[in-house]
Structure formats: structure tokens, C-alpha cells
Amino acid sequence: MKLDYILYGFGILFCLAGLAYLAAQYVRFLSEPGKLVSLLLTVALFAFLGKYFEDLGW
Amino acid sequence: MATRRRNLFLYLTIVCFFGLVVIFIVDGYMGVYETIHITTGEREQAIEPDFWVQQGRFFEPTGSASVNRDEKAFFRYVVDNRRLSGYSDQVQVSVFRSQRKIADLLAEPVSVPAFGKQELTWTVDSSEVVPADWPPEQNFEFTVVIRRGGIERKIIIFLSPRPFVPKPPGSVPLPLS
């Protein structure tokens, strides 16, 4: 079970690192609607992730 | 029931994540981009595609470079096609001064395959742009206008004046007493 959590942690870290890389490289080329939708999706992503961990009992 | 609800949040998180990745790829990466490299003297500067977006928020974006008088400015124009289909258009380069065209430098078609690049090069000889009677101690500016399809890029070239060296005073005859 502990190993599962460690793997989840790594998965989440890699996902966030990938997003950070994309943001650093290409956010300057995004159009204004693209930036707005990205912001909304980021907020939703962290909100759903938070709810998921809340349900897990963290 | 609780597990299904929890999994739903996880799936929604994953959907948001992939949505972000898709937006970055489709909106941020894909498209036709251009980079302008200008070499004057011993320096090369590159005007990246985002320059026009960032500057365009506040005023009409204009690149700039400076060149010594009677020297040349070397341009390298790279069209980067990051699309699934090919891209072809006409590129025209002209020199303007006070809204008046002085010379046409280039008129060439570009045809770039999908995810390919094409380079165009040209040279601006400042001695051919400056009028012959223009005082060498005075500044001079002109604009290189690059047109590709409906897009227009302006680059102002500033010509440094030659330093003014006063002539040494001639010998003054001494008054005879």
C-alpha cells in the first residue's frame, strides 16, 4: 500500500513537471482564450485533485 | 459509492490534465512562426516570434537594430511551419523612409512542408539607402518592412553618425607692430 502511494506521488510529480515544462516553453505563444481556458483547467485540476485526496482521508 | 465518487474526482483531474496538454500543443505549439536574425557589425540578434505578441499589447511592435554608416546589415528570416499541412506564401521585403518606399529588397515565395523550416536571407547596404547629400554627422533611420501573407513586421535600422572631428585652426598671422 505504501508503495502505491509512493508511485502515485511520483506520477503526480512527473505530471506537474511536464505541465511546468510546457508552460515555461509555450505559454508565451498561447492566445488569450487559450490562456483563460488553461487557467480554468488548472484551477479545476487542483480542485479535483484536492477532493480526491480529501476522500482518501488525507 | 465512496470509491466511485473518489474515482470520479481522479478521472476529472486526468481529463483536466490532458485538456491542458492539448491546449498547449494545439494553441501554443502549432502554427506558423517566424524568427528574424539580424547581424550588424560583430553582433547577431534574434527577434523571436513572441516578441511581436508581447510588444503588440501596448503599441505597434517594431524591432530595431543599429549599424555603422556604410556597413551592411545581414538578415536571416526563418519561417517555422509547425502544422500538419504545408505552408506557402509570398515574402516581400522593402525599405521605407518617412512612409516612402526607397527600395525593394526581396520578393520570394516560401513553401514550407509540415513541421519544416525555410530560411531566406538578404542584405541591407546602408550606403545605398542614405542619400548622398546626407550630413555624416547626423543620425539616419530607415525601416525594413517584411510582409508575409497578411502579416507585416517592421524593423527600424538606426545608422550611427560619424564622429564630428573639428578641423584644427589654421595659423593666425600675428599683427605687425
- The pLDDT value recorded for residue A18 is 86
Provide the mean pLDDT of chain B.
87
The answer to whether B23 contacts A30, with C-beta atoms less than 8 Å apart, is yes
pLDDT tens digits for range B59-85 = 788 888 988 888 899 999 999 999 999
Q: Is the pLDDT of residue B132 over 90?
A: no
Stretch (H or E) spanning A21:
helix A2-26
Cell of B173: 598671422
User: How far is Cα B144 from Cα B21, in angstroms, rounded to an integer?
Assistant: 38
The answer to whether the beta carbons of residues B73 and B40 sit under 8 Å apart is yes
How far is B37 from chain A, CA to nearest CA, in Å? 19
Do B139 and B131 form a contact (C-beta atoms < 8 A)? no
Distance, in Å, from the CA atom of B102 to the CA atom of B129, rounded to the nearest integer, reads 7
Stronger pLDDT, B6 or B177, i.e. the higher one: B6
Is the pLDDT at B14 greater than 70? The verdict is yes
pLDDT for the residue B153: 92
User: CB burial class (10 A; 0-12, 13-18, 19+) of residue B177?
Assistant: exposed
CB contact under 8 A, B28 and A49: no
| Mean pLDDT of the region B100-129 | 91
Q: Which of A25, A41, A48 shows the shortest C-beta gap to B20? A: A41
Confidence class for position B154, pLDDT limits 50, 70, 90:
very high
Burial class (CB in 10 A: 0-12, 13-18, 19+), B84: exposed
- The stretch B105-111 carries a mean pLDDT of 92
- Between CA B88 and CA B17 the distance in angstroms is 34
Instruction: Kindly indicate the confidence band of residue B138, based on its pLDDT and cuts at 50, 70 and 90.
Output: confident
Q: Quote the pTM value.
A: 0.76
Distance CA A16, CA A20 (A): 6
Across residues B19-41, what is the average pLDDT? Answer: 91
CA B27 vs CA A38, B70, B89, B99, B151: distances in Å: 10, 43, 21, 35, 18
All three cell numbers of B131:
542619400
User: What's residue B116's pLDDT?
Assistant: 94
User: What is the band of B161 on the pLDDT scale with cuts at 50, 70, 90?
Assistant: confident
The DSSP bridge pattern shows strands B100-112 and B87-97 to be antiparallel
Mutate which of A5, A21, A48, A54 to disrupt the B interface (most B C-beta within 10 Å)?
A48
At B177 the pLDDT is 64
CB contact under 8 A, B28 and A51: no
Of A34, A45, A56, the CB nearest to B27: A34
pLDDT at B57: 67
Chain B nearest-CA distance from A50, in A, is: 9
Q: What is the pLDDT of residues A12-46, one digit of tens each?
A: 899 889 888 888 888 888 888 999 999 999 999 99
| CB-CB neighbors (< 8 A) of A45 in chain B | 13, 16-17, 20
Inter-chain residue contact A52 with B6, CB threshold 8 Å: yes
Q: Best of B13, B47, B51 to disrupt the A interface by mutation (most A CBs within 10 Å)?
A: B13
Q: Which residue has the higher pLDDT, B98 or B3?
A: B98
pLDDT for residue A5: 85
- Give the chain A residue whose CA is nearest to the CA of B52: A29
In whole angstroms, give the CA distance from residue B114 to residue B82.
Answer: 6
Distance from CA of A55 to the nearest CA of B (A): 6
Given this model, what pLDDT does residue A29 score? 86
